[in-house]
Amino acid sequence: MSLVVYLAALVFGMTSVLLFRRPRTAVRDPLTLSTCAAIVLGALVFVCAAPATLGTVNALTGVPNFGAPLTYGMLCAYSCAVLVLLINWRGGPRPVVRRAVIRSMAAYGLLVAAIVVLFLLADADTERLTDLDTYYAGTPFMREMILLYLLGHSAAMLVMCAVCVKWSREVGGLLRVGLRLILLGALLDLVGFQLTKYTAVAARWAGHDLDFLSTTVAPPMASLAALVCSVGFALPRLLPSVLAHWRGLDDYRRLGPLWSLVKSVSTAPGQPSAWWQLPRARLQWREVSIHDALLTLAPYFDHRVRERARDAALGAGRSPHEARLAAEAAMLTDAARRAAAHEEPPEAAGSYRLHATEVPGPSGLVELSQALHREPGRAAAPGGANPSSPTGTLTEPEEPHVA
């Protein structure tokens, strides 16, 4: 069972690593900080609750069952961290948020202190690594300690359920999805972990043996509930960034035809020197390098090539925007050929602003790159064939191919 619990703790903890990937920014953001604190404390609860950890802690301290108040105290700290996270997530005036956080921390701080005191007063000399809750269910002070930690955790989960239900009616999108996942995790915790614990303890009071609920059913249900909650907390914060990087990777690849055409004249690097750079960083470097190359090629723009290509595209039934892109692709191909051959700038050269430089972001460059890929004469440049000849023989676009 220890291996399963440790794996759950590892997956749980990795979520906080993803959220805390920018430490300097994260420590100044109460929401990120409280999210990471809640997830880390949840992972520590699993680590402390593993039988292997309990046995090691008991052996190191020389106190039988010392791991019990340690685990229960950590669980109370996790419950408090979840409430603090919800308070910060909900937001509001800073003084109100601060007071709510302080009240929650004070309440659970007293709860942890009470658990420690009750353990010190109890007679619990027999080490129990997996069934302590039921074994000591009728022992004075231990009984109260067990009930106290369960009630403290139940209160936090019930509050979390109420907040998620109320708030999910007011928001939409990923935030609502995250809240529903948190609600699902809290319900799994309430039913799968806490209700089974309460049932097993109450059965002991009644003289029955339902220990399997506490030792076999409750631990995996607690792991599942915590993982679902962590996904709910992390999803609204991580998914937008993941999607942005995915779109960045797609744009980076679609810029391939344009970069292949102009990279020989660009003085900026086409990609970061570090191989581990994320897609958005790579896309930014490619954009900068392409814009640098377009500035270098600007003196070679031949307006006659552009006008012929535009007229041919309009005559083929293309929209004005598509005709402009096809014309600019032909003109850029001709300019790249002239630059590669070290020719003199054409007589019809002059200042011209490409559509790709008029729109923010990479969308304009991507359109130009795809127009280049569809242009039949693009394959001839910049090797030496005159690209002006295909401008009068524009055909229907071929199927796009992502570079």
**370 and 298 fall within a common domain:** yes
| % of the chain residues with pLDDT over 90 | 35
Tell me the C-alpha distance between 378 and 380, whole Å. 5
End-to-end CA distance of the chain: 48
**In the Cβ-directed half-sphere of 49, how many Cα atoms lie within 13 Å?**
26
Domain harbouring 131, CATH code: 1.20.1070
**231 and 335 fall within a common domain:** no
- The count of structural domains within the chain is 2
| % of the chain residues with pLDDT over 70 | 83
The b-or-e profile of 186-204 (16+ CB within 10 A means b, else e) is: bbbbbebbbbbbbbbbebb
**14 and 127 fall within a common domain:** yes
**154 and 18 fall within a common domain:** yes
Alpha-carbon torsion (148, 154, 157, 163), positive or negative: negative
pLDDT in tens, 81-123: 989 988 888 778 889 999 999 999 999 999 999 999 999 999 9
Any domain includes 129:
yes
State the average pLDDT over residues 169-175: 85
Minimum mean pLDDT range among 232-236, 281-285, 397-401: 397-401
Q: The domain containing residue 183 runs over which residues?
A: 2-242
**274 and 310 fall within a common domain:** yes
How high is the pLDDT of residue 151?
A: 95
pLDDT in tens, 192-242: 999 999 999 999 999 999 999 999 999 889 888 888 888 887 788 777 877
**94 and 148 fall within a common domain:** yes
How high is the pLDDT of residue 155?
A: 93
How high is the pLDDT of residue 127?
A: 92
Minimum mean pLDDT range among 119-128, 187-196, 341-350: 341-350
Please state the pTM of the whole predicted model: 0.67
Any domain includes 399:
no
